[in-house]
Amino acid sequence: MAKRKANTTPIWQFLFSVYCTVMLWLLFFRSDSRYPGLPYKELLQQNTNLIPFYTIKNYLHVLQYSADRYMRTHCFMNLAGNIVLFIPAGWLLPKLWGWLRNFFRFFIFCTGVIFLVETLQLFTLLGRFDIDDLILNLFGMVLGFVLFAVKQNKLT
C-alpha cells in the first residue's frame, strides 16, 4: 500500500501545479479590469468591499427577483464559481502536505492565502478585494477539506 501512495504523489503534485496555473490565470490574467483616467486611489475604493455578505446578499436578491437572464446567470456563476473552484484546493492541500491535515492549521493557512490573493488583485487592479469572495472561497476550500477527511476515514 505504501508503494502505491509513493507512486501517486507525483500525479497529485502535477494536478496541483495545473490547478494553480489555471487559478492564477482565472484570478489575475483572464480580463483587464483597468479603468483609464481614474486616479489610483479612487480605483482602489471602487474595487473594495469590506462589508461581509453585501455582495452575496445582492447576488441572491438578483437570483430571487430579477427577470434579467444575463444578470441571473452572472450572479449564479459568481456565487457557485467562488465556491466550486476552490474545492480542489481544499482536497489537494492536505493530500500533499500532511501538516495541513489539522483543520485549524488548514483554515488559518487558507484564510491567509485567499487574503493575499484578494489583496494582490486589488493593488494590481486585476480584480477586486471583496470580503465575500474570501468567505465563499474559504467555504469551498473547507468543503474540499471535509471531502478529503471523509475519504481518508473510509480508507483507513
- Per-residue pLDDT tens for 38-81? 898 898 898 999 999 999 999 999 999 999 999 999 999 999 99
pLDDT at 34: 58
Strands (E), the chain: 48-49, 129-130
Per the document, the length of the chain is 156
pTM of the complete model: 0.88
Q: Which own/partner pairs from 123-127 qualify as long-range (CB within 8 Å, at least 24 positions apart)?
A: 123/44, 124/28, 125/33, 125/34, 125/40, 125/43, 125/47, 126/27, 126/28, 126/29, 126/32, 126/33, 127/27, 127/28, 127/33, 127/47
Given a cut of 70, the residues of the chain with pLDDT beneath it are: 1-8, 31-36, 154-156
